[in-house]
Amino acid sequence: MLLIDCPHCGPRSEHEFIGMGEAAERPAEPAALDDEAWGGYLYHRRNPDAPVLEHWWHVHGCRSWLQVQRDPHTQAIVACQPCQERP
Ligand SMILES: [Zn+2]
């Protein structure tokens, strides 16, 4: 079981969260993108072979959105902070 150390609630089971996948950088001007670029932002993720920054929602806890840096090989969480901050 994966434990996520929510900055508001402390360590909690992953079952209290919904993982929303890799945190993609939002385009500065979304209206300027064509359909292919917008679709790429919405649906295409890199799936890197290295620690990745993800969005997780503490839906059964404080309901905060978190940025979790997780190693996909070991499942180890390197960092966890509210979405307003960068790692
Ligand atoms: Zn929480």
Going from the Cα of 69 to the center of ligand 1, the distance in angstroms, rounded, reads 16
**32-62 pLDDT tens trace:** 999 999 999 999 888 888 899 999 999 999 9
Give 86 or 20, the one with higher predicted confidence.
Answer: 20
Cα-Cα end-to-end distance for the chain = 24
Going from the Cα of 2 to the center of ligand 1, the distance in angstroms, rounded, reads 15
Whether 70 contacts 77, CB under 8 Å: yes
Write out the DSSP string of 9-34.
TEEEEGGG-EEEEE-PPPPS-GGGS-
Going from the Cα of 52 to the center of ligand 1, the distance in angstroms, rounded, reads 20
In the chain, the domains with their CATH numbers are: 3-25+32-82 (3.30.2270.10)
| pTM beyond cutoff 0.85 | no
Which residues have a beta carbon within 5 Å of ligand 1, which is an ion?
A: 6, 8-9, 58, 61-62
pLDDT at 33: 95
Residue 65 CB: number of other CB atoms within 10 A?
14
